[in-house]
């Protein structure tokens, strides 16, 4: 069977690339655009947040789909990953390209940033080569006006040959104009977009190839990609169509073809931009540049970054205390009611203990300790992202990561790890190179997540700060985290010179303009996409861990529980590390959730059968001192807390992202061995 349009559509649906329409009145609209152009704001504004997400087939790249209705049609919006080009170099760009090429969308809305139109036009020109119906959404017009940038939307429409709609995405009326433009386009013949013409040699080669691809949609665009020797596209063509592509012979070097195409697109975008963009404030970005000289400067960039990190931690520590207490009181009140229910039902004591005092109590503890700091940290992190500061962090850390033969984007995934290492591992998808992505995944655990903050903060406060000084606690916590960052650099350099050798790849690092954050969207996005996602995974493993902990604490052999016997067995090895058996068994049983390490230590010391409320810091200090703790014990415990194995949620995420048990095992063993060696060395030196 030959390559036909019918077979391509069916094959794309079978492969999960295309979207099936459930009624004749439905239209599938792809939402494309560069990163940081407000594409997600447009998507959320049109769908009213009524969306669902999933993974593209065969990829870890997520997609979002939503429904919106206009006066004439029901639109299925597909928010494809942000991309600078359809000449794919990463999983995200491949997904965007494959959906536009094979997903058969009825139209594409390309969202552009009106403040930097020329750069965005490169993607527009590639999209109108690929798709019959394209609407340009000229977004962020309010920012353009504030900066004295005027874009003639009507003239731009004439130049491109497609509809252009000026929008301010957070204003509903401008999005209504976008829906009206889509309606008008579907009720009229397809527009005739501008035709980009390449050098004669390339046009001649395309003309010879197109007859062989006449049964394919987008034959001209596919011919151009085949001239570039795009192997990923060739594989996708074979997957979708189920046939072998015709053989082509060309003397044109692939790199020369690619350079010529990129140059032509860039020159065309520059020419169009000059005719439609004017400036009333030539120095419109002077304020941004002055701020950048501070935040990315050689002398102040790193100190300001550390001060901001300390501020975020101080806000998280201070702000989480009260809601954490309230949440704990509510959840433990519910524990009492569940216990009363079991008593009323005459349930056996062991069943009530296992389910209520074991599984439920640990679950309640994890939620009450983990949720408030995450609900503060992730919005703060997302706020920095929305303002435009995180790309500056990546810029600052790009050089040290390149010195480690890694990718500068690892800076962003490392920052995400402060909130949750599992979220940081998922964030590694933004790194194009598989080698560099693996480097980032394996070393993400060296920055402590908020699950380890309670242990670090408690020990810093008890032994080095004293109660009531949250600012000094935040400063010392920042110093501990700086140690984790330095270890991240060191281990990354070691891995990139041994089992993951390679040369660092280049990447496009955009420093977007500083923007006023959209607080409501930041809170919703951080709570739904990060906080609840991570909390759900942690809760799923916390309850079984609580059940196991209760069993170990309540089954006795001789005059001691299994928990006490295990702690005694581990004590000689733990002493080499400056710890004791109770601390080491607490770390082991805290594998599902790091938040319960200190309560387990107290549980072993007090020989109690259930998870213990830590109580005041003064009481905790007395218990620790009675059991032989010194400042060196506290430092060793903090070092091991910083460096030990990832939690179960993070390891499950690593396995999902890598698809490899081998690399998951490396991610477990690498920090564990380093943590053991560092603790033994510190204990020997002091």
Kindly state whether residues 85 and 211 are assigned to the same domain: no
Please tell me the predicted confidence (pLDDT) of residue 59. 42
Kindly state whether residues 128 and 226 are assigned to the same domain: no
Q: What's the average model confidence in pLDDT over 368-372?
A: 73
Q: Is residue 448 classed as helix, strand or coil in its secondary structure?
A: coil
Kindly state whether residues 484 and 548 are assigned to the same domain: yes
Instruction: Count how many domains the chain has.
Output: 3
Kindly state whether residues 389 and 417 are assigned to the same domain: yes
Kindly state whether residues 305 and 270 are assigned to the same domain: no
Range of the domain at 171: 26-186
Predicted TM-score (pTM) of the model is: 0.68
- Judge whether residue 46 has pLDDT over 80: yes
Q: What's the average model confidence in pLDDT over 173-179?
A: 87
Q: Which two tokens stand for residue 263?
A: 């140059």
Which is more confidently placed, 244 or 459? 459
In a domain, 494, yes or no: yes
User: Could you say which DSSP state residue 114 is in?
Assistant: G
On average, the pLDDT of the chain sits at 82
Q: How confident is the model at residue 5 (pLDDT cuts 50, 70, 90)?
A: very low
Instruction: Report CA dihedral (478, 480, 484, 486) to the nearest 10 degrees.
Output: 80
Whole-angstrom Cα distance, residue 612 to residue 218? 66
Kindly state whether residues 142 and 279 are assigned to the same domain: no
Instruction: Give 580-615 as a 3 state SS string.
Output: CHHHHHHHHHCCCCHHHHHHHHHHHHCCCCCCCCCC
Whole-angstrom Cα distance, residue 478 to residue 309? 7
Please tell me the predicted confidence (pLDDT) of residue 633. 93
Which is more confidently placed, 686 or 138? 138
Please tell me the predicted confidence (pLDDT) of residue 246. 64
In a domain, 538, yes or no: yes
- Judge whether residue 12 has pLDDT over 60: no
Question: What's the pLDDT tens digit per position in 616-662?
Answer: 667 778 888 888 899 999 999 999 999 999 988 899 989 998 889 99
In a domain, 194, yes or no: no
- Judge whether residue 54 has pLDDT over 60: no
- Judge whether residue 581 has pLDDT over 60: yes
Kindly state whether residues 47 and 174 are assigned to the same domain: yes
How deeply is 545 buried, as exposed, middle or buried, from its count of CB atoms within 10 A (0-12, 13-18, 19+)?
Answer: buried
Which is more confidently placed, 281 or 171? 171
Kindly state whether residues 479 and 533 are assigned to the same domain: yes
Percent pLDDT > 70 in the chain is 86
Query: Does residue 611 contact residue 365 with C-beta atoms inside 8 Å?
Result: yes
- 355-364, 369-378, 595-604, 624-633: range with highest mean pLDDT: 624-633
| 125-139, 291-305, 577-591: the lowest-pLDDT one | 291-305
Question: What's the pLDDT tens digit per position in 94-138?
Answer: 788 888 888 888 999 999 999 889 889 999 999 999 888 999 999
- Judge whether residue 60 has pLDDT over 60: no
Please tell me the predicted confidence (pLDDT) of residue 503. 67
Question: What's the pLDDT tens digit per position in 382-409?
Answer: 788 778 887 788 788 888 888 888 887 8
Please tell me the predicted confidence (pLDDT) of residue 198. 92
Which is more confidently placed, 235 or 181? 181
In a domain, 3, yes or no: no
Please tell me the predicted confidence (pLDDT) of residue 384. 81
Q: What's the average model confidence in pLDDT over 452-457?
A: 81
Kindly state whether residues 180 and 251 are assigned to the same domain: no
Q: Among residues 186, 218, 252, which one ends one of the domains?
A: 186
In a domain, 441, yes or no: yes
Q: Among residues 124, 158, 186, which one ends one of the domains?
A: 186
Kindly state whether residues 403 and 522 are assigned to the same domain: yes
Rg of the chain (C-alpha set): 29
């Amino acid at each position: 069977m030959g390559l036909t349009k019918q077979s391509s559509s069916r094959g794309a649906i079978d492969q999960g690339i295309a979207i099936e329409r459930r009624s004749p009145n439905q239209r599938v609209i792809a939402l494309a655009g560069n990163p940081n152009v407000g594409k997600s704001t447009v998507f959320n504004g049109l769908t009213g947040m009524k969306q669902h997400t999933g993974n593209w087939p065969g990829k870890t790249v997520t997609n979002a789909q939503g429904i919106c209705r206009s006066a004439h049609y029901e639109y299925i919006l597909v928010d494809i990953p942000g991309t600078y080009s359809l000449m794919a170099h990463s999983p995200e760009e491949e997904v965007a390209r494959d959906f536009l090429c094979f997903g058969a969308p009825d139209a594409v809305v390309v969202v552009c940033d009106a403040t930097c139109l020329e750069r965005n036009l490169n993607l527009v020109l590639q999209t109108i080569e690929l798709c019959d119906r394209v609407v340009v959404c000229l977004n962020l017009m309010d920012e353009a006006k504030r900066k004295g940038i005027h874009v003639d939307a009507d003239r731009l429409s004439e130049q491109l040959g497609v509809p252009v709609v000026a929008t301010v995405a957070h204003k509903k009326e401008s999005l209504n104009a976008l829906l009206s433009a889509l309606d008008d386009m579907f009720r009229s013949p397809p527009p005739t977009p501008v035709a980009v013409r390449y050098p004669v040699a390339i046009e001649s080669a395309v003309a010879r190839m197109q007859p062989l691809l006449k049964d394919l949609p987008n034959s001209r665009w596919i011919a151009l990609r085949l001239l570039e020797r795009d192997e990923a596209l060739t594989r996708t063509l074979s997957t979708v169509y189920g046939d072998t592509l015709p053989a082509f012979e060309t003397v044109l070097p692939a790199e020369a073809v690619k350079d010529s195409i990129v140059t032509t697109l860039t020159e065309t975008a520059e020419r169009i931009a000059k005719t439609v963009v004017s400036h009333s404030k030539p120095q419109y970005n002077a304020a941004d540049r002055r701020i950048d000289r501070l935040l990315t400067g050689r002398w102040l960039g790193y100190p300001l970054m550390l001060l901001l990190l300390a501020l975020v931690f101080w806000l998280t520590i201070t702000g989480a205390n009260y809601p954490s207490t309230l949440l704990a009181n509510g959840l433990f009140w519910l524990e009492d009611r569940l216990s009363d229910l079991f008593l009323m039902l005459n349930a056996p004591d062991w069943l009530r203990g296992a389910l209520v005092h074991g599984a439920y109590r640990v679950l309640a503890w994890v939620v009450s300790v983990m949720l408030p700091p995450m609900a503060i940290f992730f919005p703060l992190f997302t706020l920095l992202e929305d303002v435009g500061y995180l790309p500056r962090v990546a810029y600052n850390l790009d050089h040290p990561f390149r010195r480690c033969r890694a990718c500068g984007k690892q800076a962003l995934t490392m920052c995400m790890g402060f909130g949750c290492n599992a979220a940081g591992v998922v964030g590694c998808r933004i790194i194009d190179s598989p080698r560099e992505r693996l480097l980032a995944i394996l070393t993400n655990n060296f920055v402590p997540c908020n699950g380890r903050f309670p242990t670090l903060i408690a020990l810093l406060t008890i032994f080095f700060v004293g109660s009531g000084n949250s600012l000094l606690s935040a400063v010392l916590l920042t110093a501990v985290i700086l140690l984790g960052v330095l270890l991240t650099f060191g281990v990354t350099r070691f891995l990139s010179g041994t089992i993951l050798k390679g040369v660092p790849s280049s990447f496009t690092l955009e420093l977007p303009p500083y923007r006023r954050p959209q607080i409501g969207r930041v809170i919703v996005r951080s709570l739904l996409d990060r906080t609840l996602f991570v909390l759900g995974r942690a809760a799923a493993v916390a309850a079984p861990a609580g059940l196991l902990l209760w069993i170990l604490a309540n089954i006795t052999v001789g005059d001691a529980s299994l928990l006490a016997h295990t702690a005694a067995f581990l004590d000689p090895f733990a002493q080499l590390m400056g710890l004791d058996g109770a601390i080491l068994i607490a770390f082991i049983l805290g594998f599902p959730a790091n938040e319960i390490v200190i309560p387990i230590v107290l549980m072993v010391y007090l020989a109690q059968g259930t998870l213990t409320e830590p109580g005041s810091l003064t009481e905790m200090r007395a218990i620790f001192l009675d059991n032989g703790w010194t400042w060196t014990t506290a430092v060793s415990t903090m070092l091991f807390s910083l460096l030990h194995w990832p939690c179960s949620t993070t390891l499950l995420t690593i396995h999902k992202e890598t698809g490899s048990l081998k690399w998951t095992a490396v991610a477990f063993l690498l920090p564990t061995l380093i943590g053991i060696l560092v603790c033994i060395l510190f204990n020997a030196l002091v």
